[in-house]
Amino acid sequence: MRVRSHSPHDRNHSAPGTQTESSKDAAPHRARKRFGQNFLHDPRVIARIVDAIDPRPGQTIVEIGPGQAALTRPLVQRAGHLTAIEIDRDLADRLRGEFPPQQLTLIEADALAFDWGDLPGPLRLVGNLPYNISSPLLFSLATVAERVVDQHFMLQKEVVDRMVAPPGSKTYGRLSVMLQFRYRMVKLFDVPRGAFNPPPNVTSSIVRMVPIPVAQLPAVDADSFSRVVATAFGQRRKTLRNALATLLDASAISSAGVDPQARAETLANDAFVRLARKLGQLATFGVTRATG
């Protein structure tokens, strides 16, 4: 395998004092904070994550943010071939140097702006995600969930706890409702700060997300659903009657089978679906805001 030398561009943006070795022949890479670079180095944690993913030859596995290839190497070893999307030019150069194209299809791009339609599905998505883009990335991936088999991601523990939170719990919110609508999700295990170099400020967790088949999804307009959920949680301490006042009045909320005195954080997913349908019906009848 070839290892290309480190290219010197853009070093001024590096986080000082956080050099990490990606290969014994290459100059150390300086972890870039703006790209959320915390590189995994604990072999037991890496093995546990890859075992949870269980990569197989013939699957289209896409890694978001391969970095210094801590996960990429064992994934390539077990699957034979991997596609990876990396935004950092220096790291992309190194990856191209280490892996021949028959092992790694490297896409140098911003995963947030990437057109997932460019990749032939069905896709298995994996990644130790840069924490600064995790929520927008999860929302953008939900729009292509139909083409996805599963997703295994490392995220901040606090974010994973919110994703899998049940109604009525403190951490249940917009992220929980929107993602639970589209995926079955299970938190697999926590990963301590010390497993990374440089260590992040917070504990991380691995989550498995499996899209719910389209035929099993409730029929509801996606825009109405996300509007109702965002508005209800915009003022989560208020009753729905008050929090949703700009969209639905108390009688409309009641006629959706939901108590107007309840608060968003107590509602299960199907209650939001009924509220969104009610909003859709009112819009169909040309009522922009329900009254009295």
By the criterion CB under 6 A, which residues form the site for ligand SAM? 35-40, 64-68, 70-71, 85-88, 91, 110-112, 128, 130, 133
Q: Which residue is nearest to ligand SAM (CB)?
A: 65
Q: How far is CA 229 from CA 122, 180, 212, 243, in A?
A: 29, 12, 19, 10
Q: Measured on CA atoms in the order 170, 174, 176, 181, is the torsion positive or negative? A: positive
Place of tokens 């070795």: 21
Q: Which is nearer to ligand SAM, 86 or 265 (CB)?
A: 86
Q: Which is nearer to ligand SAM, 95 or 275 (CB)?
A: 95
Please report how close the Cβ of residue 138 comes to ligand SAM at its closest, in angstroms.
13
Closest CA to 156 of 195, 125, 193, 181: 193
Closest CA to 69 of 124, 26, 111: 26
Please report how close the Cβ of residue 200 comes to ligand SAM at its closest, in angstroms.
8
Q: Which is nearer to ligand SAM, 69 or 163 (CB)?
A: 69
Please report how close the Cβ of residue 130 comes to ligand SAM at its closest, in angstroms.
4
User: What distance in Å separates the CA atoms of residue 270 and residue 236, rounded to the nearest whole number?
Assistant: 18
Please report how close the Cβ of residue 214 comes to ligand SAM at its closest, in angstroms.
27
Q: What is the CA radius of gyration of the chain?
A: 22
Q: Which is nearer to ligand SAM, 196 or 272 (CB)?
A: 196
